[in-house]
Amino acid sequence: MAGKEVLATIREDLESRVGQKVRLRANRGRKKILERTGILEKTYPNIFVIRLEESKSPERRISFSYTDVLTNTVELMVEGESGIKKLGAKH
């Protein structure tokens, strides 16, 4: 049951950052790493959505599960007063 508590903590951390600019680093497998900047747009019970900032005309959104953050498949970083903070990490 401790896993559910950790996922709930990650979700609460991300919910408090909705609307903020984040840096995303996602491991897509087979040596494919996605690094982008975007806005944390919305959180849902099992996933969260990031709107990517790209120069291409259509807006692009990408979603991940909280488990992806827990397993470090996805890393989210936000800049604050005290520098860059990794979201979802143990404090």
Domains of the chain: 2-87 (2.30.30.100)
pTM above 0.95, yes or no: no
Q: Which residue has the higher pLDDT, 54 or 11?
A: 11
For 14, residues 6+ apart whose C-beta sits below 8 A from its C-beta are 40, 43, 48, 66, 69, 76, 87, 88
Element (H, E) at 4: helix 2-15
Give the max Cα distance, the chain.
44
Compute the distance between CA of residue 30 and CA of residue 76 in angstroms, rounded to an integer.
20
Residues 29-80: pLDDT tens digits? 888 999 999 999 999 999 999 999 877 768 899 999 999 999 989 999 987 6
Whether residue 90 has pLDDT greater than 70: no
For 56, residues 6+ apart whose C-beta sits below 8 A from its C-beta are none
